[in-house]
C-alpha cells in the first residue's frame, strides 16, 4: 500500500481526533457534505482514539469495535491509538492494519488524567525512550499483518513546560511520516492560546534530521480561511482542526456552489443580530442545516445509540453547534435537548420548519 501522505497536496487539512465527537456518524456526514468533492487529496480524517490495551482484551475489543468502523468515502482515514505497552501496541496495530486503514497515528499528547495515569498520551513526553519503543512496536505490528501503512504521531510542545528541543528530536529518530503538534503543553490543556510561533523551531529540527516528515499544526483554528492563513504565516505542511468543525458539515468543502458562506449572518460568527434580519438571508441555509442535523442524528442512532455503543446524550453536544443564531434557535435547542432518539429530533425539527415556513 502506497504511503498516502506522499500524495497529499499542500496545504492539506485534517479532522482532529476528538473523543465522542469524530465518531462514524459525524465523519460520514462530513464525508458526504465536505470531503466527497474534488478535495480528497487535501483532507485527512482521524478516528476517535482507541486504547491499544483494550484492543488486546477480547471483551473490551468487542465494545471498542465501533471506533474502528469507517466508510470508503472517508479515505484517507487514520486510526488513532494510545497506549504505553509496546507489546499491546504491536498486537493492536496488527489488528488495525488488517482492517484497511490508510495510516495509524499514535497519541502522545492527550492530557486527560486517566490516560496520563496509564503512562500514555502526553505522559510519553516524560518517557521518550518508551515513546520510541511504542513507535517501533507499531511498525512491527503493521508488518506482521502483511501490509505497510505509515505511522504518524500527534503530540504537544511539552508536558509541564515547553520541551521542543529535547522531546521532538527523539520522535524524529523514528520512522514517522507525519508529526502533528498541538501548540500548547499538556499542563496548559486548552486554557491558553496556542503558540504557533513554535512551528518554526520544529520545522528546523525536522530539516536538521534530514528526514521527509510532514509537519501538521494544531490549536485554535477557527475555519478554513484561518487554516490557510496559518499555513501561509507559519509554513507547516498541513493544519489540523478540532472544535472549528463543530456544526459545519460543509467545513472541508472549501466552496459549496449555490450555498452561501456559512460564516455570514445566521451561522454563529456574528453576535447581537436582529433576528428579523436573519431569516430572509439565511432561511434556506437554516433549513438545509437542520435537515442535515436530522440525518446526522439518524446515523448516530443507527450506528451507535441503538447498538448501545454510546448513549444518545453524546449526540446532544452537536445540537448547540447546529442550532444557533437564527430566530427561534434557543427555543428549538431547548426542545432538542430533551429528546431521546432521532425520531423525536426529526419530529421537533419538522414542526419548527413547518412553523417557520408558515410565517
SS (H, E, C) the chain: CCCHHHHCCCCEEEECCCCCCCCHHHHHHHHHHHHCCCCCCCEEEEEEEEEHHHHCCHHHHHHHHHHHCCCHHHCCEEEEEECCCHHHHHHHHHHHHHCCCCEEEEEECCCCHHHHCCCCHHHHHHCHHHHHHHHHHHHHHHHHCCCCCCEEEEEECCCCCCCHHHHHHHHHCCCCCEEEEECCCCCCCCCCCCCCCHHHHHHHHHHHHCCCCEEEEECCCCCHHHHHHHHHHHCCCEEEECHHHCCCCCHHHCCCCCCCCCCCCCCCCCCCCCHHHHHHHHHHHHHHHHHHHHHHHHHHHHHHHCCCCCCHHHHHHHHHHHCCCCCCHHHHHHHHCCCCCHHHHHHHHHHHHHHHHHC
Cell of 100: 484497511
Bridge-partner residues for 214, per DSSP?
178
Exposure b/e, 279-311, CB count within 10 A at least 16 = b:
beebbebbebbbebbbbbbbbbbebbbeeebbe
47 and 183: one domain? yes
pTM for the whole structure: 0.89
From 14, 56, 93, 110, active-site residue = 110
Tell me whether the omega of the peptide bond preceding residue 11 falls within 30 degrees of 0, making it cis: yes
Domain for residue 261, yes or no?
A: no
Instruction: Mark which of 252, 283, 314 sits at the end of a domain.
Output: 252
Domain for residue 37, yes or no?
A: yes
122 and 229: one domain? yes
Instruction: Mark which of 252, 284, 305 sits at the end of a domain.
Output: 252
348 and 314: one domain? yes
- How far apart CA 33 and CA 253 sit, in angstroms, is 7
223 and 288: one domain? no
208 and 304: one domain? no
139 and 284: one domain? no
Domain for residue 144, yes or no?
A: yes
Of 104, 136, 134, the closest CA to residue 118 belongs to: 134
Contact 227, 12 (CB under 8 A): no
Instruction: Mark which of 237, 252, 267 sits at the end of a domain.
Output: 252
Domain for residue 270, yes or no?
A: no
- What's the pLDDT score for residue 40? 72
CATH number for 156: 3.20.20.70
- What's the pLDDT score for residue 38? 57
- How far apart CA 236 and CA 222 sit, in angstroms, is 17
- Count up the domains in the chain and report the number: 2
Say if residue 141 is exposed, middle or buried (CB neighbours under 10 Å; 0-12, 13-18, 19+): buried
Domain for residue 263, yes or no?
A: no
Tell me whether the omega of the peptide bond preceding residue 76 falls within 30 degrees of 0, making it cis: yes
287 and 240: one domain? no
Cell of 203: 520545522
- What's the pLDDT score for residue 284? 83
Residues in the chain with pLDDT < 50? 256-282, 359
Domain for residue 268, yes or no?
A: no
Domain for residue 269, yes or no?
A: no
Active site residue 110: yes
- How far apart CA 106 and CA 95 sit, in angstroms, is 15
Of 111, 209, 96, the closest CA to residue 154 belongs to: 111
342 and 210: one domain? no
Q: Encode pLDDT of 71-128 as tens digits.
A: 999 999 999 999 999 999 999 999 999 999 999 999 999 999 999 999 999 999 999 9
18 and 144: one domain? yes
42 and 115: one domain? yes
> 300 is in which domain, residue-wise?
275-358
Contact 323, 293 (CB under 8 A): yes
283 and 237: one domain? no
Bridge-partner residues for 239, per DSSP?
13, 217
335 and 215: one domain? no
Amino acid at each position: 500500500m502506497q504511503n498516502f501522505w506522499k500524495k497529499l497536496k499542500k496545504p492539506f487539512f485534517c479532522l482532529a481526533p476528538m473523543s465522542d465527537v469524530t465518531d462514524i456518524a459525524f465523519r460520514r456526514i462530513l464525508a458526504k457534505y465536505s470531503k466527497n468533492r474534488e478535495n480528497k487529496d487535501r483532507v485527512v480524517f482521524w478516528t476517535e482514539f482507541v486504547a491499544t490495551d483494550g484492543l488486546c482484551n477480547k471483551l473490551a475489543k468487542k465494545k471498542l469495535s465501533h471506533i474502528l468502523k469507517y466508510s470508503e468515502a472517508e479515505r484517507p482515514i487514520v486510526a488513532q491509538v494510545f497506549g504505553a505497552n509496546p507489546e499491546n501496541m504491536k498486537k493492536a496495530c496488527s489488528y488495525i492494519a488488517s482492517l484497511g486503514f490508510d495510516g495509524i497515528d499514535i497519541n502522545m499528547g492527550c492530557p486527560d488524567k486517566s490516560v496520563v495515569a496509564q503512562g500514555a498520551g502526553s505522559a510519553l513526553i516524560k518517557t521518550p525512550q518508551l515513546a520510541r519503543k511504542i513507535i517501533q512496536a507499531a511498525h512491527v505490528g503493521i508488518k506482521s499483518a502483511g501490509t505497510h501503512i505509515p505511522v504518524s504521531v500527534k503530540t504537544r510542545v511539552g508536558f509541564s513546560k515547553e520541551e521542543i528541543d529535547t522531546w521532538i528530536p527523539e520522535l524524529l529518530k523514528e520512522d514517522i511520516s507525519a508529526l502533528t503538534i498541538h501548540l500548547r503543553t499538556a499542563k496548559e490543556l486548552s486554557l491558553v492560546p496556542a503558540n504557533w510561533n513554535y512551528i518554526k523551531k520544529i520545522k528546523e529540527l525536522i530539516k536538521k534530521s534530514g528526514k521527509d516528515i510532514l509537519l501538521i499544526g494544531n490549536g485554535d483554528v477557527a475555519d478554513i480561511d484561518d487554516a490557510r492563513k496559518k499555513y501561509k504565516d507559519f509554513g507547516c505542511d498541513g493544519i489540523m482542526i478540532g472544535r472549528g468543525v463543530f456544526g459545519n458539515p460543509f467545513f472541508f468543502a472549501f466552496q459549496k456552489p449555490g450555498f452561501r458562506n456559512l460564516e455570514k449572518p445566521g451561522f454563529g460568527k456574528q453576535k447581537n443580530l436582529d433576528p428579523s434580519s436573519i431569516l430572509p438571508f439565511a432561511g434556506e441555509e437554516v433549513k438545509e442545516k437542520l435537515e442535515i442535523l436530522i440525518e446526522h442524528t439518524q446515523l448516530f442512532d443507527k450506528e451507535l445509540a441503538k447498538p448501545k455503543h454510546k448513549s444518545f446524550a453524546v449526540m446532544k453536544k452537536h445540537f448547540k453547534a447546529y442550532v444557533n443564531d437564527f430566530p427561534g434557535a434557543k427555543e428549538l435547542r431547548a426542545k432538542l435537548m430533551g429528546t431521546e432518539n432521532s425520531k423525536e429530533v426529526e419530529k421537533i425539527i419538522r414542526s419548527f420548519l413547518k412553523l417557520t415556513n408558515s410565517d
